[in-house]
Chains A and B, each alone.
Chain A
Amino acid sequence: MTRVVVRRLGYMLVTMLLASLTLFLLFEIDPETVAANVLGQYSSTEQRRLWLTQNGYDRSLALRYWSWLSRFVTGDLGHSRVFNRPVAEILWVRVGNSAILAAAFFAVMVPMSLTLGVLAGMREGSRLDRLVSTFCIVTTSIPPFASGIFATALFVFGLDWLPGTSSMIDGFSPRELVLPLLVLLVYDFGYVARITRASMADVMATAYVRTAILKGTPRRRVILRHALRNALIAPFTVIMLQVNWLIGGVIVVEFMFAYKGLGSLILEASLAQDIFLIQASTMLTILLAVLTQSIADIGYGFLNPRIRYR
């Protein structure tokens, strides 16, 4: 097990390094454009040359990447042009806000999709099963921006129950969190529920579950003690792998409801071409994505003793 974890971590490190190199090259391969970006398009050639020398841009590309990387790793993320503040200062506040959103989302999504998936998969082909399956196909077909619009039209314009923006100007307000959460749920829960359903249906069809039922074990006990344990392995992996996918939904939701989180920060940074802010915020989401992928991999081997890594 330790060997698997170590190998997986090494592998994660290589991916992160490659991703950082890609981001570095994408934005900093030509020093001239960096100088023009930081100093503005009306800066003089003199100013740009001075800035480049001062910031070590006259060195070779490899050396520049190395110093960029070592500063990055030690937490010096550079200066944001748009906010005119150190990137690190802006970033962590935004990350905290997104974390609140994500925590609330998982707290609702995991129990809801697992329960619905298990109930549907318990009796394949039942009316409940078909209802859940159809509901899941429809909800996963609605793009997050569209469910956001539908929810706004209904709950804000039509019924006037909820606020239409979630900028939290007057401090934290749970009411403002409802619509973003709803949209993320519609976007993500159907997939997890469908995987859970399929996994549960597979387990219910296995010989050991049939044996347990035939020998007269109460159905409740068969499901809770025997079936669930194996049926929940696949959903665990999927929930972890979904994080990569969820980040897309978070961007849309934060943009739509003006929520000050990491997703809207990445969008603002990209639209303004704020180089250092893009690099830092993007690297952070990549770290998150690679980390959850690794947890999914390691956890799968841990939960399922039939799969053992060489």
Chain B
Amino acid sequence: MIALLRRLPASPIAIIGIAIVAFWVIVALLAPLLAPLAPTRSLQPMALPGDRGPGGIMFWLGTDVLGRDILSRIIFGTRSVLLYAPLATLTAFAAGIAMGLVAGFKGGWLDEALSRFADLILAFPLLILYIVIIAKFGASAVNIVLAVTLGAMPGIMRITRGLVLDQRGRAYVQAAQLRGEPVWYILIVEILPNVRGPLIVDFCLRLGYVIIAIGTLGFLGLGLPPPNPDWGTMINENRNMALVFPHMVVFPCIAVSSLVLGFNLLADGIRELSQTE
């Protein structure tokens, strides 16, 4: 892991990816300092980018239908996307890796049951799974994280399972078994560190997809309830004005696309580096 980090400068793609992600992380951390106005304060509806509001306040990116400053909302919206997307991806990885480790190592009926369960979820088109769950149980941060976890889990489980099957017969695993180590120890301390490479790449890629998924839910009106500044929800709220005031929706779209691009470039860079190893 550290060796990989040290070699990152060798990949220009990874550097650009890290720079984009770091930019948004800093924006999220310093949001109260960077945002010119409060994200939920209604000032002057439909101001264009560069317009000046009451008292000479500058609306750099204009205001939305309700007169809230778009720049400030994008800045504060960074916090929600960088909180819920990594959280959902992490829970999905925890669950998926646990299932994959057990299924791959134990085999037998347990593997069969877990694999069928994964197949069942994979039979649902992803977005439909999310829509059905969220529409049924309500749009809240917890439900969104749970739905995304459920949807992403089977893919992670399959990857981990395949990697474990490849490691199971190796000498170091047999040695640990002969030493009488418990199963959890062999799985977590012995096998997991040896399969982390592909999982790290997959994490970056999947994080990008999760950001897209959460953004899409917001866009469809199933995202975090207002007035929270959330990029997807911002686009949904101002969707009807897209043909008259495109600035209200274009800027949040640029924000979310750039963040996803950052994670995809990072994933690509890491994969390139691990292949040349």
Contacts and interface: CB of A to CB of B under 8 A. Distances in A.
Real binding pair: yes
A282 B242 CA distance: 30
A153 B238 CA distance: 13
Q: Find the residue from A16, A141, A153 having the highest chain B CB count within 10 A.
A: A141
A152 interface: yes
A289 B268 CA distance: 28
A145 B216 contact: yes
Nearest to B246: A153
A137 B265 contact: yes
Given A156-B243, A270-B135, A286 B125 contact: yes
Given A245-B126, A286-B125, A149 B216 contact: no
Interface string A131-149: 0000001101111111001
B221 A271 contact: yes
A273 B135 contact: yes
B65 interface: no
B102 interface: no
B253 A157 contact: no
Interface string A161-189: 00010000000000000000000000000
B124 interface: yes
Contact of A270 (B131, B235, B264): B131
A143 B132 contact: no
B215 A143 contact: yes
Contacts of A143: 211-212, 215-216, 219, 253, 256-257, 260
A16 B124 CA distance: 10
Interface string B241-262: 0111010011001101100110
Interface string A193-227: 00000000000000000000000000000000000
Interface in B3-41: none
Interface string A267-278: 100110100001
Nearest to B254: A146
A305 to B, nearest CB: 23
Contact of B249 (A144, A149, A270): A149
Given A26-B136, A145-B253, A270-B132, A19 B246 contact: no
B251 to A, nearest CB: 10
A146 B132 CA distance: 22
A145 B219 CA distance: 7
A14 B246 CA distance: 48
B275 to A, nearest CB: 11
Given A149-B235, A267-B131, A137 B261 contact: yes
Contacts of B131: 251, 266-267, 270
A176 to B, nearest CB: 14
Nearest to B208: A141
B87 interface: no
Nearest to B267: A137
B119 interface: yes
B253 A273 contact: no
A40 interface: no
Nearest to B261: A141
Given A137-B261, A247-B127, A26 B132 contact: yes
Contacts of A278: 132, 135
Nearest to A152: B242
Interface string B188-222: 00000000000000000000100110011001111
B132 A282 contact: yes
Contacts of A10: none
Q: Find the residue from B127, B246, B253, B256 having the highest chain A CB count within 10 A.
A: B127
Interface string B81-122: 000000000000000000000000000000000001001101
Contacts of B2: none
A252 B216 contact: yes
Interface in A92-130: none
Contact of B243 (A26, A164, A282): A164
Q: Find the residue from A18, A251, A270 having the highest chain B CB count within 10 A.
A: A270
24 contacts: A14-B116, A19-B123, A27-B136, A140-B264, A142-B260, A143-B216, A143-B257, A145-B216, A146-B235, A149-B242, A149-B250, A152-B242, A152-B246, A157-B244, A164-B243, A244-B125, A251-B131, A251-B220, A270-B135, A270-B136, A278-B132, A282-B128, A285-B128, A286-B125
Interface of B: 116, 119-120, 122-128, 131-132, 135-136, 208, 211-212, 215-216, 219-222, 232, 235, 239, 242-244, 246, 249-250, 253-254, 256-257, 260-261, 264-265, 268
Given A143-B216, A143-B219, A247-B125, 10 more contacts: A141-B208, A144-B216, A145-B253, A146-B254, A152-B246, A248-B125, A256-B239, A289-B123, A289-B124, A293-B122
Interface of A: 14-16, 18-19, 22-23, 26-27, 137-138, 140-146, 149-150, 152-153, 156-157, 164, 244-245, 247-248, 251-252, 255-256, 266-267, 270-271, 273, 278, 282, 285-286, 289-290, 293
